[in-house]
Amino acid sequence: MKKLFFTFAIMLGLATTVSAQEVGQIWVGGAVGFNSTKIGDGDRVSSYRIIPEFGYVFSENLGIGIKLGYAHNKTVLGNVNGKLVAKDAFTVNPFLRYSFLKGDIGGLFIDAGAGYTYGKADGNDADKLNAWEVGIRPGVAVKVSDKISLTGKFGFLGYQNQKLGGVKSNDFGFDFDLSQTELGVNIVF
């Protein structure tokens, strides 16, 4: 827990000296991720995701963007005759970005938006995933050069609704764990 607070304090310190994009600029970027977990005696869950992001700065502190994502999850169940279950999901997430605490090397921002995710397992219609969310994601941008920024989004505050097969879930709250963390790069034009 101390490491988490220390990391947040460093990011906040960096953000107070960070600079903003100029009005009329377009940014292209996004994030990628990979995870592999061994569960029990031979079960393994592996996943990767690709989340490109496009946006436009239309005022000093406001921009509008969209994330288009793809995620692939593969589960190998070693205890069930080596059964393989693969799931693919596609996400669309338009958002409004508010930037603040801007300085010479970056700034803080909040992305407020709504997203929809659709997916299914191995072409099986019974395991369809339909999920949507409305909320905000806080983030930090660190300027590497005039055209490149490293970005990090940490956590989610809002509402999420998910239906997978016949199971529904509704979540509301602040989720600040690694599953809600995105690290990426933005290129400004």
Domain locations along the chain = 24-188
Say what the pLDDT of residue 9 is: 40
Query: Half-sphere exposure of 45 toward its Cβ, with a 13 Å CA cutoff?
Result: 6
Query: In residues, how long is the chain?
Result: 189
Find where tokens 């995933």 sit: 129
Q: CA 89, CA 128: separation in Å to the nearest integer?
A: 9
117-140: pLDDT as tens digits = 998 877 566 678 899 999 999 999
139-151: pLDDT as tens digits = 999 999 989 999 9
> Is the pLDDT confidence value at 75 over 80?
no
Say what the pLDDT of residue 8 is: 42
- CA distances (Å), origin 158, targets 32, 53, 113, 174: 23, 20, 10, 7
39-74: pLDDT as tens digits = 777 777 888 889 999 999 999 899 999 999 998 887
In this structure, whether the domain defined by 24-188 belongs to CATH 3.30.70.2740 is answered with no
